[in-house]
Amino acid sequence: MATAELLDLELADSSPRDSGRTRSESSREGGSRYDDGPTRPTLRPVRPQESIPDQSVGPHRPEDPFAAEEEHSALPGSAGEHLLQSAYDTERRARKFYEDQVLDHLNERMKEFVRSMSMAFIATADGHGECDSSLRAGPEGFIEVLGDRHVAYPEYRGNGVMASLGNISENPHVGILLVDFVDALIGLHVNGKARILEDADLRAIHPGLRSDFERGRKPERWVVVQVEEAYIHCRKHIPRMAPVSRNRAWGTDDVKRKGGDYFAAKGTPRPWHRTQPQHD
């Protein structure tokens, strides 16, 4: 039987391929698996290039200009963004944003916002840092809020490529962007570490998960994300859009109903095409 251990998201610290982004601990010593009390993000010094034995493993990470500061003034974010803040003289603006807007958990208003969303943009990268972005959609509430520090979104039957899940299997870091294009015209970034769970396993832990799915829309598995950063995406350039009723062919394999060869890619030569045998 599945236990809460399946949601232990204390994943391994950054490997040489890691982005260098520093996060709050996934759970504090002596705390509950779902201890939702806020913690302060801390920076970890980035190793200089000469201390990395195998440069072929991944890209060099810059030295963090703020890493030597006292712990009480440590900031979230990557060494790269801190370096450019220093280079382009945006430190004051950036620090104000960190201090005013960036949380290491979801507050109540953020949780309400997540539950109201019917669409999410998901960013992942594989172990080499090669990126992929994808759209996930469903009825309002399709992203489950499991607490202040955990959300989960469903994975349905798709084209079988599993690009996002494949990346997560190599590199757990995930970025989620949620945007309200209709009413508030505001967005929410949720960044963290992800883990893949089968539908039955997550339901054994959270039996209250949504179960009233449309035909052909039952989740096969879930991506559970441990929240490490949550912050606003300002409304300055978010367009207003109005939803229009439509019938959706969930779970269909009909090529035309899925969009067909809209971008005329079929038949275009590419390196991974299988060569056809030549016959006299």
**Regarding predicted confidence, which is higher, 255 or 153?**
153
Q: Does 159 reside within a domain?
A: yes
What was the pLDDT predicted at 279? 60
What was the pLDDT predicted at 236? 92
Looking at 51, 71, 103, the residue that finishes a domain is 103
Residues 227, 112 within the same domain: yes
Q: Does 240 reside within a domain?
A: no
What was the pLDDT predicted at 68? 63
**Regarding predicted confidence, which is higher, 139 or 40?**
139
Inter-axis angle of helices 91-101 and 79-87, nearest 10: 140
What's the rounded Cα separation, in Å, for the pair 229 and 191? Answer: 5
- Helix then strand count (H, E) for the chain reads 5, 7
Q: Does 241 reside within a domain?
A: no
- Whether 1 has a pLDDT exceeding 60, the answer reads no
Residue 267: pLDDT band (50, 70, 90) is: confident
Which range has the worst mean pLDDT, 23-32, 103-112, 180-189, 211-220?
Answer: 23-32
Residue 52: pLDDT band (50, 70, 90) is: very low
Residues 179, 89 within the same domain: no
**Regarding predicted confidence, which is higher, 251 or 214?**
214
Looking at 103, 127, 147, the residue that finishes a domain is 103
Q: Write the DSSP string, 15-75.
A: -TTS-------SS-TT--TT----------PPPPGGG-S-TTSSPPPPPPTTTTS-GGG--
What was the pLDDT predicted at 32? 37
Residues 126, 214 within the same domain: yes
Residues 228, 213 within the same domain: yes
- Whether 40 has a pLDDT exceeding 70, the answer reads no
Q: Write the DSSP string, 224-251.
A: EEEEEEEEEE-STTPPP---------TT
What's the rounded Cα separation, in Å, for the pair 7 and 95? Answer: 32
Cα torsion through 118, 145, 178, 88, rounded to 10: 180
Helix (H, G, I), strand (E, B) or coil at 211: coil
Euclidean distance between the first and the last CA atom of the chain, given in angstroms as a whole number: 60
Q: Does 248 reside within a domain?
A: no
Q: Does 264 reside within a domain?
A: no
Residues 55, 90 within the same domain: yes
- Nearest 5 degrees, angle CA 45-CA 11-CA 168? 105
Question: For the chain, how many structural domains are there in total?
Answer: 2
Q: Does 22 reside within a domain?
A: yes
- Whether 6 has a pLDDT exceeding 50, the answer reads no
What's the rounded Cα separation, in Å, for the pair 81 and 78? Answer: 5
Please give the model's pTM, rounded to 2 decimal places: 0.73
Residues 159, 220 within the same domain: yes
pLDDT in tens, 170-212: 999 999 999 999 999 999 999 999 999 999 999 999 999 988 8
Average pLDDT of the chain to the nearest whole number: 79
From the centroid of its chain, how far is CA 75? Answer: 20
What's the rounded Cα separation, in Å, for the pair 108 and 244? Answer: 29
**Regarding predicted confidence, which is higher, 162 or 3?**
162
Q: Does 275 reside within a domain?
A: no
pLDDT in tens, 221-258: 999 999 999 999 999 999 999 988 877 766 667 777 76
**Regarding predicted confidence, which is higher, 86 or 272?**
86
Residues 224, 166 within the same domain: yes
Residues 121, 218 within the same domain: yes
Residues 126, 193 within the same domain: yes
User: What's the domain range around 151?
Assistant: 108-233
Q: Does 42 reside within a domain?
A: yes
Residues 177, 193 within the same domain: yes
CATH of the domain at 154: 2.30.110.10
Polymer length of the chain:
280
What was the pLDDT predicted at 74? 74
Residues 39, 114 within the same domain: no
What was the pLDDT predicted at 211? 86
Token pair of 103 as six digits: 């949380």
**Regarding predicted confidence, which is higher, 200 or 12?**
200
What was the pLDDT predicted at 278? 54
Token pair of 242 as six digits: 């109005």
2-5, Cβ contacts within 8 angstroms, sequence gap of 24 or more: 2/200, 2/201, 2/202, 2/204, 2/205, 3/205, 4/33, 4/34, 4/205
Residues 139, 54 within the same domain: no
What's the rounded Cα separation, in Å, for the pair 58 and 50? Answer: 13
Point out which residues pair with 224 in neighbouring strands: 152, 195
